[in-house]
Amino acid sequence: MNAREPIHLTVNQNILEMEYAVRGPIPRRAAELRQQGRETILCNIGNPQALGQKPITYYRQVLSLVEDPAKIDRERALEKRWKTDGGPPAGLGDIERVSEHVLKVSEQFLSNMKSGLGAYSESNGPLFIREAIARFIDKRDGVDTTHGSPSNPDGIFVTNGASEGAKYVIDLLIADPKDGIMIPIPQYPLYSATIKKSGGTQVNYYPDEDSGWVLNRSILEEALSAARRDGIRVKGLVVIHPGNPTGAILGAETIREIIDFARDNEIVLIADEVYQENTYGATFTSFAKVLGREEVPLFSLHSISKGFYGECGHRGGYLEVRNPPKAAGTPLSFTEILLKQASVCLCPNTAGQLLMYLVVNPPEEGSEPYRLFAQEKQTILTDLWDKATLIREGFKHMDQVECFGRTGAMYLFPRLNKLPVGTTDFDYCMNLLETTGLCTVNGSGFGQKEGTHHLRIAFLPPKKLIERVLPRWIEFHNAYVNR
């Protein structure tokens, strides 16, 4: 029997055209090399546990108990035995011991969740998780009865990662191909891809690389004026803070300028703050904090994927909405429409919700799990800083490589000032991969000022691996650019 020809269908052109370089041709080639038995080092994506970062013990203890509540009774029985025996059985260290605190947090979570992790929850996440998020935001931003504006749990949506929250907002804002969203260049390609998929217009603004990726009002005004000249109605402004891929960390004054710009031009702000813990000693100031009681629409995003938590695969995050705009032509409020969007997929996954709850509700100083938690957190963040510093040092030995700004987020974005004539940063990254096994992403995947070339490297692999590959990268670089 002849096989029938598959039917031919036209497909969504926007989906065909959208791009996502961090999973693009270079990582795909890396996968092929791995299949051939070559060692590759995956620095193309901020996925810490894929590069050996250990999960935080506290998070996983609670997660495993909540997933399998029968373990709570078993742990309690074990605890009794340890007490009567005067210590843990041989071979079991203190680290394996689940503390009373962890048992209680797990029980409380289960009792609040009512039906455990196996049932759908509310589409925006249960109220007790949203209340915990609101308390976290207020504590982080120093909100009290005299300072700032308290976070409202009704404006919080627990999501499957920050990506989902960003998509909800952008999908909702774009009603027409001439609707524009301003994004930084370079940017994290979630934004360009989502705008493309929604059928809107990407409006680029360019933080000043040579001054350390400085952003100010005149940069934003310039981009807005150019867009308006082209008939684009700019509705939203995305700020990634700290920046991916640049690592730039914004100060309160810059945030103030951005808010003023948004207010004066009736543009909503989308503040992607997923790297708020990755500032390595610099102070993180949130957009919500600077906004205070001012009534500018603000959508803030956070995630369990980054910081020291690194729980990318569990897909958890939140979107906080302040001062939602009015939606024209409908009695529904903006928040009600967001809830409608969230309800289409029923609910965010419950393991991600639990981890988000734990991220915003860490063990307090003096509690039993605190010491290990604080130690693991400190080790991860110090290690990240050390690895970034090591790679930055390496750039000094590479011909005409410059890396601007301070270290933030999980990436370095060096500029390649010299490349062989007729080649691009894509060619460089592909050759770097073939020669050394190091998988990075070409700057053009994030967008960059015309005529410049970059690459992005995630500073996540173990230090020893970086130390081993760095001399090979330096050797490759100097030979490649001078060939």
Ligand X SMILES: Cc1ncc(COP(=O)(O)O)c(C=O)c1O
Using CB under 6 A, list all residues that contact ligand X: 46, 161-163, 188, 190, 240, 244, 272, 274, 303, 305, 312, 317
Question: In angstroms, what is the minimal distance from the CB of 171 to ligand X?
Answer: 15
Which residue, 269 or 481, has its beta carbon nearer to ligand X? 269
Distances (CA, A) of 47 to 50, 175, 307: 6, 33, 11
Q: Which is nearer to ligand X, 99 or 194 (CB)?
A: 194
Q: Which two tokens stand for residue 148?
A: 């700032």
> In whole angstroms, how close is the CB of 410 to ligand X at the nearest point?
8
Nearer to ligand X, 190 or 223 (CB): 190
> Whose Cβ is closer to ligand X: residue 205's or residue 476's?
205
Structure tokens at 338: 């967001």
Closest distance to ligand X from the beta carbon of 301 (Å): 7
Q: Closest separation between CB of residue 348 and ligand X, Å?
A: 11
The least CB distance from residue 331 to ligand X, in Å, is 32
Residues 6+ apart with CB under 8 A from 475: none
Helix (H) or strand (E) holding 303: strand 298-303
Q: What are phi and psi of 172, to 5 degrees?
A: -75, -35
Closest distance of CB 317 from ligand X, Å: 4
Please identify, using beta-carbon distances, which residue of 105 and 240 lies nearer to ligand X.
240
How far apart are CB 454 and ligand X at their closest, in Å? 16
**375 burial type by CB count under 10 A (0-12 exposed, 13-18 middle, 19+ buried):** exposed
How far is the C-alpha of 408 from the C-alpha of 275, rounded, in Å?
8
Question: 427: part of which helix (H) or strand (E)?
Answer: helix 425-436
Nearer to ligand X, 180 or 348 (CB): 348
Q: 157, 394 in Cβ contact below 8 A?
A: no
- Cβ proximity to ligand X: between 140 and 477 the closer is 140
CA–CA distance, 322 with 320 (Å, rounded to integer): 7
Structure tokens at 31: 């996968």
Which residue number places its CB atom closest to ligand X? Answer: 161
Q: Count the Cβ atoms, other than its own, within 10 Å of residue 25.
A: 13
- Single-letter code of the amino acid located at 370: Y
